[in-house]
Amino acid sequence: MTFMRTKMGYFLVGGIAVVLALFVLEPLLQQGTAIFGAASRTVVGSVDGEDIKYDEFNTKVEQTSAQFKQQYGGVMNAQMQSMAVDQVWQSEVAGVVMGKEYDRVGLNISSDELFDLVQGSKPSPLITQYFGNPQTGQVDKTAIMTSLKSREKNPELAKQWLLLEAEIEKQALQQKYSRLVGNSMYVTSLEANDEYMNRNKLVNFKYVNLDYSTILDANVKLTDADYQEYYDANKKRFDNPQETRDFQYVSFSIQPTAADSAIVKNQVEKLAVDFKTTPNDSLFAANNSDVKVPFTYISKGKLDPAVDSVIFNYPVGSFYGPKFSGNSYKLVKVVDSRFSPDSVKAAHILINPAQVGGEDKAFKLADSLKKLAQGGGNFADLAKKYSVDGSKDQGGDLGTFGRGAMVPEFETAAFNGKAGDIKVVKSQFGIHVIKIEKQVGSSKVVKLAYIEKNLAPSQKTRDAAYKKATAFLNEVKGDNFSSLAQKQGYNVGIAERITATQGYAPGLDNPRQLIRDAYDADKGDILPQVYNMDNSYVVAQVTSIKPKGQLSLADVKKQIEPQVMNAKKAKMLIEKFDKALSGTSNIDVVAQKLGKTATPVENMVFANPIIPGLSQENKVVGTVFGSQVGKLSKAIDGERGVYAFVVQGFTNPAPLANTFKQKETMMLTNGQRAIGSAFQVLQTKADIKDNRVKFY
């Protein structure tokens, strides 16, 4: 009490000071919270302190997604969206990381170099792509100068030139860095000879093995010490490059009931009546079918077996259906039939209208290329220079393909023409110049108006499944997920090592929102909602969080159980082998003691350590090549079992004739590998913060 009386004044003054400070600082604190909150809503991530803004990042994601849609026929699912996000993210990370590396080693592109790349005698491949003249095969410098002058009065063109020059500079820096890393590689004569011997020295040996499967798992008791021993010996394997999460889930399937089936059948029967009398077969089919079948000629074997087995025998004008098979009703009208090649060998040049100034210019370029090819120009060379398709490196060669392999417009041109024709067609991918090189075979094809109506669950059925999922979510707790599911007769699914930006998960067709919520939860949490998949409702629980970096034994214990089991079995089998090996130097005697037959292996090379009929056994084969001829080995634990062997002989190749060529080949291979490795190291050392899961 005396202390309180003497010190109370200080407490009162201090308390008043704190209250006043909070009163004064409250607006600033609120403003700071708003600032930090706003930053977290606009920054997708950062690399070494450089923020990646959402607006710019998302624009690039949308552009990449559009490219994916074009490439895959307009289809875009959650997995493809995730791929688009990852691709843009990797590009952004590489831009920052490599930019810092270029600065560190002193790489840059001078103004003179950039001038040469745009207007000089050795232009950038991008300049060749945009300003190449198909008539001469040379860059049109007049067109470049005209465009450069026009940008002074055209802001949009100026913006495009800035982007183009930035990309030219980026490519040039990448080439410089690649040469720098490649030129730093060196292969000694000893390394060249070792590589030559590893690929050409042969060994013959005889072995006996006992497979791990000869011991039942039930007869092996694993202890904590067994797990710890394996973990300590293999720690480097458990470095987690990025955080992952595991979750378990119950899926409430939405299956059509008998009542649903009756409703769909009635709808299809009414649809069939209208289909028979419609004046526009293809439009009616396109508007009413759940499955879009291209209105083009189809060869036998491409349709559902129930339809395919009969429709090719029907005359033109015939109607077939309703026919139920699989999970849908089929209605088919035969519009036409003919005989057509079974396959076509063709090459093409693909032109992207966006890159040449629009569709009109793309068609003009295509017509020019067609005339050049018809006049004796080398089609393969033209493809390498002007095509934007991945086949350009092979001269546009698409190989031999059957019906259904190409988009309808391309297929029609290729199959309806004749060998030697060069055609120009437009598809969803751009403008094609197609050279028909060869047509093979001839068989009947049909053009069909095709309707397929899926047997789908009604809203009543969906509501019933959702009600079950909601009831389970309301009842389940963090410690009874599996037991409650088992009690109620539900199967529990497992999804392991799921990354934050992953677009798929085992057994789940649309899991992005579930994954996002899983990364906003703690271990053991029941996720807060019922998730709507394409064919089910899902309730989930986070079961494990594996952080980035070195994983603990607890994190990987379940994962390494099979390897620990084999390690324990290896010890048991080695004891068995040691008894068989004792007192003998003959591999056949060892095999006899073990109730086995020694197996011979001939002409094995070190570079391909696969024991025929078994598996890849690096440790065993490496030991074989390091052993003496005729000496019985000790027991060796491999990937699939325990082995003992005896080397019967080595065959050395002729001396390396051209060491320089061997070095050159190895330096090229090592240089290419080193470039990728260098980027991985730089990325690992960078301070990268990834917040994509908050946005996608």
Distance CA 652, CA 351 (A): 54
Q: How far is CA 618 from CA 210, 562, 622, in A?
A: 17, 19, 6
Instruction: Specify which residues 436 forms β-bridges with.
Output: 346
DSSP string, 29-79: HHHHHHHHHHHHHHEEEEETTEEEEHHHHHHHHHHHHHHHHHHTTT---HH
Same domain, 366 and 421: yes
Q: Take residue 6 and report the two structure tokens written for it.
A: 């003497």
Q: Is residue 449 part of a domain?
A: no
Which of 308, 323, 340 terminates a domain? The answer is 340
316 in a structural domain: yes
Which of 414, 440, 466 is the C-terminal boundary of a domain?
A: 440
Q: How far apart are CA 300 and CA 342, in angstroms?
A: 10
Burial of 495 (0-12, 13-18, 19+ CB in 10 A): buried
Q: Are residues 347 and 435 in the same domain?
A: yes
CA distance 589 to 127: 73
For residue 573, tell me if it sits in a domain.
yes
Which amino acid would we find at residue 120?
G
In a domain, 102, yes or no: no
Task: Give the DSSP H/E element, type plus range, for residue 437.
Answer: strand 430-440
Q: Domain with 635 in it: what CATH number?
A: 3.10.50
In a domain, 171, yes or no: yes
Residues 207, 153 share a domain: no
In this predicted structure, what is the pLDDT of residue 73?
67
576 in any annotated domain: yes
Question: Do residues 279 and 209 share a domain?
Answer: no
Residue 231 domain flag: yes
Query: By residue range, what is the domain housing residue 165?
Result: 107-183
Answer yes or no: do 323 and 270 share one domain: yes
Q: Does 194 reside within a domain?
A: no
Q: Are 78 and 86 a contacting pair, CB within 8 Å?
A: no
Q: Which of these, 444, 449, 79, 119, lies nearest to 287 by C-alpha position?
A: 449
Q: Tell me what pLDDT residue 135 has.
A: 59
For residues 326 and 363, state if they share a domain.
no
Looking at residue 40, what is its pLDDT? 59
- Alpha carbons 696 and 681: distance in angstroms, whole number: 27
pLDDT at 14: 42
Q: Which segments in the chain show pLDDT lower than 50?
A: 1-38
pLDDT of residue 304: 87
Predicted pLDDT at 136? 63
pTM for the model: 0.61
Cα–Cα distance, 191 to 197 (Å, whole number): 10
DSSP string, 348-400: EEEE-HHHHTSHHHHHHHHHHHHHHHHTT--HHHHHHHH--SGGGGGTTEEEE
CATH number for the domain harbouring residue 362: 3.10.50.40
Residues 535 and 581 in one domain: no
Closest Cα partner for 653 from 190, 203, 202? 202
Whether residues 367 and 300 fall in one domain? no
Question: Are 408 and 282 a contacting pair, CB within 8 Å?
Answer: no
Residues 250 and 265 in one domain: no
392 lies in the same domain as 357: yes
Helix H or strand E encompassing 617: none
- Same domain for 436 and 347: yes
Q: How many separate domains does the chain show?
A: 5
Last residue of a domain, one of 504, 524, 547: 547
Confidence at residue 36, expressed as pLDDT on a 0 to 100 scale: 38
Task: Say whether both 600 and 619 belong to one domain.
Answer: yes
Helix, strand or coil for residue 120?
A: coil
